Structure 1
């Protein structure tokens, strides 16, 4: 990452600048915590009711699940990943678009005497906060439904934070790239919605044919979902440890792209 080429004083300045950008975002977020929590809970609840409870009984009788005692338990970690992805991406994208296209305040941010990486990391930090807030609502539902404290384990939370970082980073880049809200809708329809259904949320990717498996394992949500699922239901010896470096690699790659976008952004 770019910070390894910086001196120690520069690294401290980068951290301070990142915190400053994040704090400016947090001042806006903290006034809308209830709204963010509610927004991120709607879609997962619909999926839980429709798939977990509606189809769950039939699926439980038809197949043996690789994790969890029921199909509802099987999809709950995926619902956490899904909610954090949706709000981490969408909330970050619309926040930047609002500043760029409507409030016209984004130019002030670009004029700050801070490193472009600090601008990107501050925005991503706010996206992570959004994702964690919405995911916490689903985690509460999962705890009430299963009583499994694995949803609060450090390993589960680590994978969740990495998932939030990946999609907040992607949302930041999209927010810097689009010129209208209609363009945001295109990214959502052709990227986020397909990933929600193909990212191993509702099925075990190991059961897929090789060609489809290659597509599914290209998606970052897949690694988040299987990691969260394993953190809750499987022993550490069976945890897919590769999911952590894969998600981290996605996050680092996006940080390079985001830093470049901020350094060359003209609004």
Structure 2
């Protein structure tokens, strides 16, 4: 199984390696805009607790960026492969288990999310942000990338057009991008809205990254919630691949 997972992952790594420099450069644009706006613009003039708004917002931007990159790294290519290019059949007829295929794809999404996050973190330090990248921070970041890479696989195997994938981004990812503790704490929202938002995985990722970046540890609840989401999405993805093979 390990060899099969590595085979799926290695194929995606070869594709990425051929354009790695362009990929890294393209990943710098969005973080730079965020950091210019919130770092040079608002970040150092607004205090949040013991630090600046820049220090507060960087973990949220890391959570948001890793969500978006990991999702798009898996969802869009797989959906195109399944619907238009018909290359998914190459995997389905290969002697590779459904779990190996799903895990390999999710790992490739995690890798892209981590590369993009590393670029963002380096730029945040250059812009003067003050936060800690420790073992908890890296673990939460990997979990967040894995959750949304797995969700992307579920969406790509479920939705029948590229337009539907775009709608999924609009109705699911976009609201989470702004509401899930990325730019502000959900405490300011009405109780009903806060209850829903605090159930979402990106909220737990943002809060856990922020607390670990401040060397305050990580809430065990957030850790278990994220692991739960990851296992659920992986299980659904494996079931979907098995169903298509039948």
* TM-score normalized with structure 2 length: 0.92
**Paired residue for 1:189, among 163, 170, 173?**
170
Q: Deviations over 1:212-235 (max 9, x none)?
A: 211211211111111111111143
Q: Deviations over 1:147-184 (max 9, x none)?
A: 64612x11110000000000000111111122221111
**Paired residue for 2:70, among 88, 105, 114?**
88
- Tell me by how many angstroms 1:104 deviates: 2.1
Query: Which residue does 1:261 correspond to in 2?
Result: 240
CA contact (8 A) 1:52 1:75 kept: no
Query: Which residue does 1:240 correspond to in 2?
Result: 219
d(CA) in 1 for partners of 2:200 and 2:20?
29
Unaligned segments of structure 1, at least 5 residues: 1-13
How big is the alpha-carbon RMSD for the aligned residues of Structure 1 and Structure 2? 2.0
My pick for the range that moved more, 244-253 or 140-149, is 140-149
Counting matched residue pairs gives 246
My pick for the range that moved more, 78-87 or 101-110, is 101-110
Q: Deviations over 1:114-153 (max 9, x none)?
A: 22111100110100011111111101012223364612x1
Q: Deviations over 1:39-78 (max 9, x none)?
A: 3332233233234433346643xxxx24x61111110011
d(CA) in 2 for partners of 1:144 and 1:50?
14
Query: Which residue does 2:80 correspond to in 1?
Result: 98
Asked whether 1:22 is paired with 2:9, we answer yes
d(CA) in 2 for partners of 1:260 and 1:148?
43
d(CA) in 2 for partners of 1:35 and 1:108?
28
CA contact (8 A) 2:63 2:141 kept: yes
CA contact (8 A) 1:38 1:134 kept: no
Asked whether 1:167 is paired with 2:143, we answer no
d(CA) in 1 for partners of 2:28 and 2:199?
26
d(CA) in 2 for partners of 1:266 and 1:186?
27
Query: Which residue does 2:121 correspond to in 1?
Result: 139
Q: Provide closer, same or farther for how the CA distance between residues 35 and 266 of structure 1 changes in structure 2, counting only shifts above 3 A.
A: farther
Secondary structure (helix, strand or coil) at the match of 2:127 reads helix
Q: Deviations over 1:227-256 (max 9, x none)?
A: 1111111433xx323211111110000011
CA contact (8 A) 2:132 2:212 kept: yes
**Paired residue for 2:132, among 141, 145, 150?**
150
Q: Deviations over 1:7-65 (max 9, x none)?
A: xxxxxxx22211121111111111122233233332233233234433346643xxxx2
d(CA) in 2 for partners of 1:101 and 1:235?
46
My pick for the range that moved more, 81-90 or 199-208, is 199-208
**Paired residue for 1:214, among 181, 195, 198?**
195
